[in-house]
Amino acid sequence: MRAAQHGDALALDQLLDELAPYVRRLCARIAPAVADDATQEALLAVFQGLPSLQAPEALVTWVRAVTVRTAMRLARRADREVAAADPAAESHASSLEGLVDIGDALARLPLPQRVVLILRAREGLSEQEIAATLGISAGTVKSRLYRARAAFREVWDS
């Protein structure tokens, strides 16, 4: 890690092997429609910031925060583009028609709720870790999780 921070390209290459699958998995879960773009943007941001990372022992926490925020930004942008191109698409997406699996049910939740649920249920993070990742309070995480679970159950049980 220190070698990578000091511009050892082979160490950076190795680090990329280690981080890329995690970054890709998070992006695919949070922003499935734009997962490739989100993965590349997140990796660019991570590697650009790497030399100035003050606490290398916090690498995974930092990579997670950069990735989740990047994926959320691209997911919001993709949602806006879809809504602008076809205003009917958004209402169709939020209907229950055609719901086939958990991924579909998750995709129908508002992005902030979807992300906390993904980080809690699929990534196994604690509420404190989610709060640190998103830069919000633990109380906000708790209330978003509560609303997300309720909304998910409503969608899933319908």
* C-beta of 46 vs 130, nearer to another protein: 46
Min. distance of Cβ 18 from another protein in angstroms? Answer: 8
Beta-carbon contacts of 48 under 8 Å, excluding residues fewer than 6 positions away, are none
* C-beta of 8 vs 81, nearer to another protein: 8
Min. distance of Cβ 124 from another protein in angstroms? Answer: 21
* C-beta of 71 vs 116, nearer to another protein: 71
The label of the residue with tokens 């160490």 reads: 11
Cβ-contact 139, 120 below 8 angstroms: no
Min. distance of Cβ 26 from another protein in angstroms? Answer: 12
Min. distance of Cβ 22 from another protein in angstroms? Answer: 10
* Interface contacts to another protein, rule CB under 8 A: 4, 7-10, 12-13, 16-18, 20-21, 24, 36, 39-40, 43-44, 47-48, 50-51
Beta-carbon contacts of 59 under 8 Å, excluding residues fewer than 6 positions away, are 1, 53
Beta-carbon contacts of 101 under 8 Å, excluding residues fewer than 6 positions away, are none
Residue 129, token pair as written in the block: 């870790």
In the three-class reduction of DSSP (H, G, I as helix; E, B as strand; rest coil), residue 38 is classed as helix
* C-beta of 18 vs 81, nearer to another protein: 18
